[in-house]
Copies of this chain bind each other. A is one copy, B any other.
Amino acid sequence: METVRIDLGERSYPILIAQDLLEQGATWQHLPKAAAALIVTNDVVAPLYLEKLRRTLSLRYAQVHAVVLPDGEAHKDWQTLNLIFDGLLAHGCDRKTVLFALGGGVIGDMTGFAAASYMRGVPFVQVPTTLLSQVDSSVGGKTAINHPLGKNMIGAFYQPQLVVCDLATLDTLPARELSAGLAEVIKYGPIADMQFFSWLEQNVDALRRRDRAALAHAVKRSVEIKAWVVGQDEKEAGLRAVLNFGHTFGHAMEAGMGYGHWLHGEGVAAGMVMAAELSRRLGLVDEAFAARLRMLIERAGLPVRGAVIDANDNAGRYLELMRVDKKSEAGEIRFVLIDGPGKAVVRAAPDALVREVIDACCA
């Protein structure tokens, strides 16, 4: 088993990475004691892993309740979040109840925000079952729901007690979602580690074949980079924003098309191509780098062209949506750009240049 520690003083916690962690009692041995646990999952993951997790948690908690939400980004909203609160209150769950997020990024984000808010905060555990949530969203304590006017606009920084990445759960992941997860894996290369990027170029086919050793390395290295960044800047005062490489364009696509049309990782993939192109036009990287990134994204089974989100004024709509991005300040959009391979920078760019990039990169 690999263990990566995220170092945040009294809010520190371990991330466990291995096969078959779900069913091992030892996985849960250091969690706080409580009368009850509540598992939050969705209707796709529940038939696969809910009973397995419930069985192993029953050894530790007298009561193990479950709330099964509808699947998908389109449900990451108030109405669905309230189903978690309804479940907690219906079962009389107290302030010590431990919540378990069993699923992908949507389940993790919603369960985390519910844990942050229920009785002003109860402990929670991330049990990510998708590649994307294992390598990115389950680590670092960002929780949120969407608002019709912007993604992840309502949420909290709230750290879990533990993150359990059971690599066996990736066996049941649809190929499209595996690829979407690879987008967030690839992201770590340009912003932090070009050696890892080279390794990915050599191993992308093995990853898509779900080679276990390759997946274990990809998850571990991704989580190490993320843990290091979050340890420097928990609440995104500065550095942490680099983890949003590709996300400014990506979020605009997700919001512009309506949540759920593209997977989050697909928006990030095309968004990275666009952010690399913007970096190139600003003279920060050369075409060879941009082409190399585009190629790897394509080999991962991901879109390399941005979505057209408005037939009449596509660039205008992108700009409008990107202005409500959380990194914006006083109406100025701030992009995560690549300032030479392996190093990210957060800065503004002229609207006219951004428009050119959008026009050039959207199909």
Q: Residues of A at under 8 Å CB distance from B?
A: 35, 78, 82, 85-86, 89-90, 92, 94-96, 116-121, 142-144, 147, 149-150, 153-157, 235-236, 323-324, 326-331
| This chain's copy number in the assembly | 2
Q: Do A94 and B330 touch across chains, with their CB atoms under 8 A apart?
A: yes
Q: A82-B78, A121-B235 are in contact. Are A89 and B147 (CB under 8 A)?
A: yes
Minimum distance in angstroms from A60 CB to a CB of chain B: 15
Q: Are B85 and A326 touching (Cβ within 8 A)?
A: no
Determine how close the nearest CB of chain B comes to the CB of A126; give it in whole angstroms: 17
Contact of A118 among B89, B143, B154 (CB under 8 A): B154
Most chain B CB within 10 A, of A78, A82, A94, A142, is at A94
For the complex, what is the distance from the CA of A119 to the CA of B94, rounded to whole Å?
27
Given A329-B94, A329-B95, are A144 and B120 neighbors across the interface (CB < 8 Å)?
yes
The docked-state distance in angstroms from the alpha carbon of A82 to that of B148 is: 11
**Beta-carbon contact of B156 and A119 below 8 Å:** no
Q: Are A329 and B147 touching (Cβ within 8 A)?
A: no
User: Residue of B at shortest CB range from A62?
Assistant: B330
Task: Decide: B149 and A94 in contact? CB cutoff 8 A.
Answer: no
**Bound CA span A304–B78, Å:** 39
Of all chain B residues, the one with the shortest Cβ separation from A156 is B120
How far does the Cβ of A119 sit from chain B's closest Cβ, in whole Å?
Answer: 5
Contact between A116 and B156, CB atoms less than 8 A apart: yes
Would you call B328 and A94 a contact (CB within 8 A)? Answer: yes
Could you tell me the distance between the alpha carbons of A142 and B119 in the complex, rounded to whole angstroms? 10
Q: How far is the CA of A35 from the CA of B330 in the complex (A)?
A: 6
A121 touches B154 (CB 8 A): no
CB distance from A75 to the nearest CB of B (A): 16
Check A120 against B78 for contact (C-beta < 8 Å).
Answer: no
Q: List, in ascending order, chain B residues with CB within 8 A of A147's CB.
A: 85, 89
Q: How far is the CA of A307 from the CA of B82 in the complex (A)?
A: 30
The CA-CA distance from A154 to B324 in the complex, in Å, is: 26
Report the Cα distance A132→B35, complex, angstroms: 35
Give A256 Cβ to nearest chain B Cβ, in Å: 15
Q: List 14 A-B contacts (CB under 8 A).
A: A78-B82, A85-B153, A89-B150, A92-B324, A94-B330, A95-B326, A95-B329, A96-B329, A118-B153, A118-B154, A120-B156, A120-B157, A120-B235, A156-B156
Residues of B within 8 A of A117 (CB): 117, 154-156
